[in-house]
Amino acid sequence: MSDKIYLYNLWRELYPGISVEKLDLFLLENEKNAVPGREKKNDWYKDAVIYSLYVDLFNKDFSGLIEKLDYLEDLGVNCLWLLPILDSPMRDAGFDIRNYDRIRANLLGLPEGFDKSEQEVVFGNFLNEAHNRGIRVIFDVAINHTSDQNPWFQEARKSEDNPFRDFYIWSKDTSLYGEARLLFKGIEDSNWEPLGDWYYFHRFFSFQPDLNYKNPDVLLAMSKNLLYWQSMGVDGFRADAIPYLWKEAGTNCENLPKTHTIVKFFRAILDYVQPGLLLLAEACQKPKEVVKYMGNGDECHSAYHFPLMPMMFKAIAMGNSQPVRYTMSPEVTPEIPDIGQWLTFLRVHDELSLELVYVSEEDRKYIHEHYCHKPEWDFRVGEGISARLSELFERDERRIALSYSLMLTITGSPVVYYGDEFGKLNDEAYYREQIKLTGKDDTRFLVRGRIDWQKLENDLKDPENFHARVYETIKSLLNTRKEHAAFGRGDTKFLDVQDDDGRPLEQVLAYLRTTSEENILMLNNLSGEPVEVKHPLPDNHVFVLNLKGFSYNEESHTFLLEPYGFVWLGVV
């Protein structure tokens, strides 16, 4: 089936009975930008080491970010995920988008009201500088909702017969979509916000009205914006909050079939014009639902493995490998398409999420008790913990390094959250500043904050400094990870290991990452006690790729792992 016919079929699935004339015009307008003959299977993201950052909090603007590209390249990063950069009132850290085809003026170093051509020069220069270093660039697009300051909403609110009224969802009956869960429990008390005699629907903050994808003009308007950034040379999009795109009465308004049709349309239109752009699903769901957002290789290319993150924390707290092994078993984690890829992470810009969508009540309680060290870190009434990685592990370099050993090697492509590579701490001053600015007590602001580069550079010069020690360890791990394709492309096989007396060692998480060309063995001591591990592959020669807290006993031919120690071993 041709790409064009496929797009028409998706259109008819979404909008039966509505003329395809608008789609005709849209495709005709974009055909001139199409790049013919490009190979569609471009899976560069399988070898990605992704670094997530806010441009302004990282180093002021795109000029400042260019200055730090050498730092990022040296760190071992080959893909940047730019947290929201589009024009926004910044009431939700940029996820409240005012204009989809504009970057915030302060990030560009331009005055408000700049010309679009000026944006293209500044941002285009940044993209060229990144690409010249072999660093790809993706960024966030919130496609479920806009800011209430978006021109579409400003028009929609004027009158019931405004042409943009149907870009959003309005009702006088707030029982509509009553089965839709309240995502921001403790912050918002309803999914409906009053405006005059009407209410508009929102799944997130009340100043973020949901878009109405039952209106085909919304689908085409969003597609137009994605294609604009694709034409600029962006390498991909993180599609924020995609499970909620389509709403139907009598459902929970999550993961509905037509939501998948919308995602397929976005993927198809991007491939139609220029294949190779990454579409990353941000779907806070169980893996069996998340894999559906990769479809049969025709939706998103990659998705976060959300349950794996809390289970890594639980495994380290328990000193037991079972939480991770169970989470990665077929019972929890289904197969993904050949072109698909899981993304692993320890921390991102949000809280350490403990939603019941992917943890049990027992897991939530256990993790919360072991990691929420201060009452103010509590998020959404026990559904998460707002704290930086170094704070969660009480600034224990051993556990920080161990957690990275897991995250970088178990499966998929890893995401490093800016500052975690040097053990950045919670930023309480930034938290208080943002409460003042937004009027919302959102404890996720604790895990954001600015980097003081002058202080950091001084810290990194002192080999005894906590930040320097964390940095050197993580940098070494990232660069080793990047050199071995098996970490991004290999199969994962968990191993049962024993001590020298034949007793099982459940506190050691051991696994092989294998391709036809490479085999790598990982041994991770999840406990606070030293362990001696009998060689699990005695017929093979092994050599060290990276380690922390590891030694080899030549007499007994056993591996010695210090508390929270680990080793990565090449196998021949």
On whether the CB atoms of residues 168 and 156 are closer than 8 A, the answer is yes
Strand ranges inside 328-426, DSSP E: 341-345, 352-353, 378-379, 384-385, 413-417
> 451, 68 in Cβ contact below 8 A?
no
Which CATH number does 490-571 carry?
Answer: 2.60.40.1180
The answer to whether 240 is a known catalytic residue is: yes
pLDDT at 516 over 60: yes
Q: Is the pLDDT of residue 37 over 60?
A: no
Active site residue 500: no
Sheet holding 384-385, edge to edge: 352-353, 384-385, 378-379
Q: How high is the pLDDT of residue 92?
A: 87
List pLDDT tens digits, range 254-292. 999 999 999 999 999 999 999 889 999 998 888 999 999
pLDDT digits (tens, 9 = 90+) for 342-400: 999 999 999 999 988 889 999 999 999 999 999 999 987 888 999 999 999 999 999 99
pTM for the whole structure: 0.95
Catalytic residue among 240, 363, 383, 427: 240
pLDDT of residue 186: 79
**Domain limits, the chain:** 490-571
How does residue 38 score in pLDDT terms, banded at 50, 70 and 90?
A: low
Active-site residue, selected from the candidate residues 56, 282, 299, 421: 282
Neighbour tally for 148: CB within 10 Å: 23
| Beta strands at 491-495 and 198-201: parallel, antiparallel or unpaired | unpaired
Calculate mean pLDDT across residues 496-507: 96
Quick: pLDDT tens for 87-119.
999 988 899 999 999 999 999 999 999 999 999
